[in-house]
Amino acid sequence: MAGKRNQRRAQLVLLLLCLVALAVLLSGRWPGLEEWVYRLEHIFGGSTVLPEGVLEIHFIDVGQGDAVFIVTASQKILVDGGERGDTVLNYLRQKGVKKLDLVVGTHPHSDHLGGLVNVLQEIPVSEVMDPGVVHTSKLFEEYLAIIDEKGIRFTVARAGVARNYEDGLILQVLHPEEPLLSSLNDTSIVLKVTFGQVSFLLTGDAEEAAEKELLDRGYNLRSTVLKVAHHGSATATSPSFIRAVRPEVAVIMVGENNSYGHPEAEVLELLQSHGVEIYRTDRHGTIIVTTNGETVETVTQKEEKAS
């Protein structure tokens, strides 16, 4: 295996040298050279150092849970961390992440919050964004204790909070306006991530009550890529919500052979009826979506075609 890896790296180096030689022949003027070099390097794993004008969103395969890593040339943001363990921490280390600008815990369920505890312990974090709902689990108490101990800035996410970054990344909190205390799932932070003409809707475990609030507020929910809520459960992803979002691509974060029956057939049928390209972490492994603000490219860990 190591021999094959070294051979691939040698081939990559040779190819890069050819590219550089060609760039010289073209008097050093080759628009997009930096981006192409990055893409070639990325095939062989490693760096999160992106060229200007590129956004990547990694839907990390954590089994039955959510973990989404957003990276641009200047920002590294983690949304949720799967169950308690080092899966996400190891993934970030593999990508060379030394610091996170923002960590978002969409809601306090363990399959979203658990892995964040390990990340917060080991990687410097500038800010944590949270729905601000009290939960009595020991995991949640430990999460809050680490934030306090390390003096991390803590922001309570409410609809209307927005961040506009110099590299063109826009982050908008669409939900919650106020916590729905009867349902932790419906208290999930819903984020819209926009980069140029391409947008992503990250919905946590928001169910139909939260979807109805989003629709009633009249937000522009139209998004290129939808992270399907609650692992493809039928308690979310209503027909009216899909008509409003009109995604081209859907990502379902779900564990292989999970006991919940996720994703449910009616959700898959609804997405397919709207011509949505579907990716699933149980079948495709980690899914990486890259955009330059105009076009979208999807690469999967496992070579199964999208449905």
Mean pLDDT of 131-144: 93
Beta-carbon contacts of 179 under 8 Å, excluding residues fewer than 6 positions away, are 131, 132, 133, 187
pLDDT at 247 over 70: yes
Residue 42, phi then psi, degrees to nearest 5: -65, -30
Share of the chain above pLDDT 90, in %: 76
- Give the mean pLDDT of 35-55: 55
Q: What letter represents residue 170's amino acid?
A: I
| Burial of residue 22, with CB atoms counted within 10 A of its CB: 0-12 exposed, 13-18 middle, 19 or more buried | exposed
Residue type at 222 in one-letter notation? R
Bigger pLDDT: 123 vs 35: 123
The answer to whether 89 and 115 are in contact (CB under 8 A) is yes
The kind and range of the H/E element at 241 are: helix 239-245
240 band by pLDDT with thresholds 50, 70 and 90: very high
Domain range 52-300, CATH class: alpha beta
Ranges 19-23, 183-187, 238-242, 267-271: which has the least confidence: 19-23
Task: For residue 235, give the 3-state DSSP assignment.
Answer: coil
pLDDT at 285 over 70: yes
What's the rounded mean pLDDT across residues 295-304?
A: 88
Sign, CA torsion 245/251/253/256 = positive
Q: Would you state the structure tokens that stand for residue 183, as one six-digit string?
A: 């349902």
Element holding 176 (H helix, E strand)? none
| pLDDT score for 306 | 64
Q: Average pLDDT for residues 94-112, to the nearest whole number?
A: 96
Considering the entire predicted model, what is its pTM? Answer: 0.83
